[in-house]
Amino acid sequence: MSTLDIVIYCGIFVFSLTGALNARAHHMDIFGAIVLAFVTSYGGGSIRDIVMDARPINWMNDNLALALVITPVIIISLVKFNFNRLRRLIFFTDAVGLGLFTVAGIDRSAQFGANEPYSLLMGVVTATFGGLIADILCNNVPNLLRRGELYATACAIGGAVYILSKRFVEDSTFSLIICICLIVIIRIISKYKKVMLPEV
Amino acid sequence: MSTLDIVIYCGIFVFSLTGALNARAHHMDIFGAIVLAFVTSYGGGSIRDIVMDARPINWMNDNLALALVITPVIIISLVKFNFNRLRRLIFFTDAVGLGLFTVAGIDRSAQFGANEPYSLLMGVVTATFGGLIADILCNNVPNLLRRGELYATACAIGGAVYILSKRFVEDSTFSLIICICLIVIIRIISKYKKVMLPEV
Amino acid sequence: MSTLDIVIYCGIFVFSLTGALNARAHHMDIFGAIVLAFVTSYGGGSIRDIVMDARPINWMNDNLALALVITPVIIISLVKFNFNRLRRLIFFTDAVGLGLFTVAGIDRSAQFGANEPYSLLMGVVTATFGGLIADILCNNVPNLLRRGELYATACAIGGAVYILSKRFVEDSTFSLIICICLIVIIRIISKYKKVMLPEV
């Protein structure tokens, strides 16, 4: 397993944790929490793979993926820990995860034949639509669509820079790091300076 | 680009406009409006193509489709125009769009192996399920399913007549025009005479 | 048509009945009820087939499936019968249906390349996600995810026993019957003894 794989699995763990905490806030049982954790981490990539007809779907037969989704749910249901204390850590890991998911989505959809605008679109979908489906399951208007901190926009900007930089730089690891740093910075600025998109 | 293509792209423009206005009513930001506009215009066709395994999905790599979704959002967010004045025009264009989407859905699914009842089903899905997904994203019970003006029913009747008339008429343009006229007429009658389906 | 097919079609009839009753409770019209009935009976299998890329999707061009979805809707809209009287019968048939859908989902996904944990997952999805989509369409938090009677858990246990028993027993009908009995028993115990999963 490469360093990149390890980092991606960390992203999945954090996304699952978010899903499980979300489930607790909605008084779901353990089964509901597993569904929500799975959807939050793998929902975006599933939509991308189904739309692009990229088969097999990215998590199929990956028992580690299953374990990474179930473990956070078990941890949260056993340890009644106050996760607010970890808020800063989760915010940071989530932003890194966004960057990784965006880049993974761009690369995979380009590989299956998407042109540049559509691979950017698929990158943003990969990173953000898991949370959107989770919000639908919880019967909320998805946070993603409402006015608030830059989230999808951060992915879109980071992803666009990644696509552009790959034209000029040979080493895609460099482009990846640029993309992640950019997304983390935009997320931080948006959070603390209250930068938002205008309402339509 | 044929005349038919131009008319279909007009339908997409109107469906996107509906999505963007819907997004404004739900206080979404510009990103949310783009998602809603995209889903309203391309959601039904996407479900059809995914279910029928018709690949590539109809909007893939179509940069014009992307432009036709984003333009109405930009127009609406810049020009704070009162679209109620255009209500009649939008009602009419929407009805024509319904007819075009129904016929496009029927033809495409028949081409990918659906029999007549199922291609009719897919025609109705193509025309109406974009709005249904948009309603889910806005956290409403889909209008489509609630008792009200004939909408899906208009598509079903128009589509059934289209399928029947293709058996007897060589020229499918003629069947298309019959179908669209029928849908427009049913929509108008339903609106002004308050014709509805019974509750279950 | 084999005995198994007949039993499965009975399951579909009951699931459609549930969907149609759900539609009545939400004041939908006949079209809405047909959509809800279809989604309740075929939604789970559709998700499974789309995710596994099992084509054609299980209900495609099956006119009997269409009839089995539409008939309960017509019955319910014509006969304003009080279905509460049939509650016990519906509870029992629903539990048998759960077992059949779970086993059908496990077998079909295994046939299309899922390993054991994932075919179990797909079995549970087949049996339970139709109701979940129906709840989303009705704008409710899905019952499935909330704390309550064991439902998905019953499928998971029954499905796991089915997979295990197939390793040791040649005759898969025997494993099927074990699985269904187990699910019916767990459902009954859970209902009358108020056994639930813990909250997360």
ipTM of the complex: 0.92
The one-letter amino acid code at C72 reads P
Considering only CB atoms, B29 lies closest to which of A53, A140, A199, namely: A199
The one-letter amino acid code at C101 reads F
Q: Pick the residue from chain C with its C-alpha nearest to A137.
A: C141
- Mean per-residue pLDDT, A105-117: 94
Give chain B's contact residues with A (Cβ, < 8 Å): 20, 23-24, 26-33, 35-36, 46, 50, 53, 55-57, 60-61, 63, 66, 73, 76-77, 136-139
Provide the number of CB pairs (under 8 Å) joining chain A to chain C.
82
Gap between the Cα atoms of A52 and A58, Å rounded:
12
Q: Other C-beta atoms within 10 Å of A168: how many?
A: 7
Length of chain A: 200
What pLDDT does B170 receive?
A: 81
- Mean per-residue pLDDT, C90-117: 91
What DSSP line would sit under C75-134, residue for residue?
HHHHS---GGGGHHHHHHHHHHHHHHHHHHHHHHHHHTT--HHHHHHHHHHHHHHHHHHH
pLDDT digits (tens, 9 = 90+) for A59-108: 999 999 999 999 999 998 888 777 777 778 878 888 888 999 999 999 99
| CA B138 to mean position of chain CA atoms | 18
Q: C-alpha distances in angstroms, A3 versus A89, A96, B60? A: 20, 14, 32
pLDDT digits (tens, 9 = 90+) for C44-102: 999 999 999 999 999 999 999 999 999 999 998 888 777 777 778 888 888 888 999 99
CA–CA–CA angle B119, B122, B123 (5° rounding): 85
Q: Name chain B contacts of C66, Cβ cutoff 8 Å.
A: 117-118, 121
Which residues 6+ apart lie within 8 Å of C148 measured at CB? Answer: A29, C196
Q: Pick the residue from chain A with its C-alpha nearest to C140.
A: A139
| CA A101 to mean position of chain CA atoms | 5
* Mean pLDDT of chain A, nearest integer: 90
Give chain B's contact residues with C (Cβ, < 8 Å): 50-53, 113-115, 117-118, 121, 132, 136, 139-142, 144-148, 152-153, 156, 196-200
Best-predicted range by mean pLDDT (A26-30, A40-44, B81-85) = A40-44
Confidence of residue B66 (pLDDT cuts 50, 70, 90): very high
